[in-house]
Chains A and B, each alone.
Chain A
Amino acid sequence: QQPVQSPQAVILREGEDAVINCSSSKALYSVHWYRQKHGEAPVFLMILLKGGEQKGHEKISASFNEKKQQSSLYLTASQLSYSGTYFCGTRLADSSYKLIFGSGTRLLVRP
């Protein structure tokens, strides 16, 4: 049931773009994206609810393909502050309310 995230890790130079993918084998109700810095709590980025939905948050946006149970997080013109581990949390369409998290994607942005 755990969604698969890819890549596992990515290193960027400041200003470069990145895409993080999240794929589930189960039908999804929603996808939630979080960023976590070492030793800190996960910080909510956005929630995606509808098939094909796209949302944006400053230079971070995401899409959700309901038919494929896939979501992608897009980071454009990356900043040093974007460094951290990105997790997708998936809520299944079977009426359960818990989030099932992927194993995370470590992002390091260098000057």
Chain B
Amino acid sequence: NAGVMQNPRHLVRRRGQEARLRCSPMKGHSHVYWYRQLPEEGLKFMVYLQKENIIDESGMPKERFSAEFPKEGPSILRIQQVVRGDSAAYFCASSPGTSGKGNEQFFGPGTRLTVL
């Protein structure tokens, strides 16, 4: 049973370009969460999605950032017009549900974004 998949693992962008990060949840998981981690810091929640719905985007910057989880295909975190401050590791996690043990969130390997 494959774990959470993320790609690319490393992404380099110049200021002003767009970054697209993809996440495929574990099999049987329909809940996806995106977190950002700056170097030597903890994980910060960005957005929580279910299939075709954004449930909680309270941690996502209002501008330049967007997320989706279409009916078919992976979840995508999109950053437009990247700036150097966007450089970070972006982790995706998935869970089978939201109650009890179903709330266990398993993390993917992350995408390390570097903005030049």
Question: A residues engaging B (CB < 8 A)?
Answer: 2, 29-30, 32, 34, 40-44, 47, 49, 87, 89, 91, 96-104
Decide: A89 and B43 in contact? CB cutoff 8 A. yes
With A and B bound together, what is the CA distance between A42 and B91 in angstroms?
9
Which B residues lie at the A interface, using CB under 8 A?
A: 31, 33, 35, 41-45, 48, 55-56, 58-59, 91, 98, 100-101, 103-110
In the bound complex, what is the Cα–Cα distance between A47 and B98 (angstroms)?
A: 12
Most chain B C-beta atoms within 10 Å of own C-beta, residue among A44, A49, A99: A99
The residues of B that contact A44 with a CB separation of less than 8 Å are: 104-107
One of A32, A100, A102, A104 near B104 (C-beta < 8 A)? A32
> Which of B42, B101, B108 makes the CB contact (< 8 A) with A101?
B42
| Chain B residues near A2 (CB-CB < 8 A) | 42
Of B41, B45, B100, the contact of A98 (CB 8 Å cutoff):
B45
A29 contact set on B, CB distance < 8 A: 103
Q: For the complex, give the distance between the alpha carbons of A38 and B43 in Å.
A: 14
Q: Which residue of A lies closest to B95 (CB)?
A: A97
The residues of A that contact B103 with a CB separation of less than 8 Å are: 29-30, 32, 47, 49, 91, 97
